[in-house]
Amino acid sequence: MARLSGSTQPVGLGKTATGLGGKGLGKSTAKRHRCVIRSRCYLGDPANGYHGKILRDNINGITKGSIRRLARRGGVKRISATIYDEVRAALKDRLKLLLHDICAILECTVRKTITVPDIVFVLNCHGTPIYGFDTPFRTRK
């Protein structure tokens, strides 16, 4: 095996050709993407150390700051501490209602991808139209 200058470890045993070591996970990599045992990740078997993605309630991704910004846009000056969970619950109910109808459209059209016209159509059916996503007017030459 060839040795790098200034390196005590052979090239084939974990060192790259530049001698800087392998590419690590770093500080910014999210812990949810790491496996329990990195060498057995590709096997996909829980007995081998891979347990899959950690499922969480994603409604908590709607942060306190984002709810506060929406309230400010609506003209609210002061917000009670109990409002944030109420807003998350209302948002979750509204999304369930809309996604239920969108899934019905997808089943009828035999598709798996939600498109912008699907969302615009469902919002119009529920009485809250959204503007700016329709097809542009065609001009004659």
2 domain residue, yes or no: no
Q: Domain check: are 111 and 97 in the same one? A: yes
Q: Is the pLDDT of residue 77 over 80?
A: yes
**pLDDT, tens only, 98-137:** 999 999 999 999 999 999 999 999 999 999 988 888 766 6
Q: Domain check: are 73 and 44 in the same one? A: no
Per-residue burial over 9-46, b if 16 or more Cβ lie within 10 Å, else e, is eeeeeebeeeeeeeeeeeeeeeeeeebeeeeeeeeeee
Q: How far is CA 30 from the centre of its chain?
A: 13
For residue 42, the enclosing domain spans 27-56
Q: What is the CA radius of gyration of the chain?
A: 26
Q: Which of 5-14, 36-45, 71-80, 120-129 has the lowest mean pLDDT?
A: 36-45
CATH number, domain containing residue 92: 1.10.20.10
Q: Where is the domain boundary, 37, 56, 75? A: 56
Looking at residue 54, its pLDDT comes to 72
Q: How many CB atoms lie within 10 A of CB 122?
A: 19
Number of domains present in the structure of the chain: 2
pLDDT: which is higher, 116 or 53? 116
Amino acid symbol at 117 = P
Residue whose structure tokens are 């990740």: 41
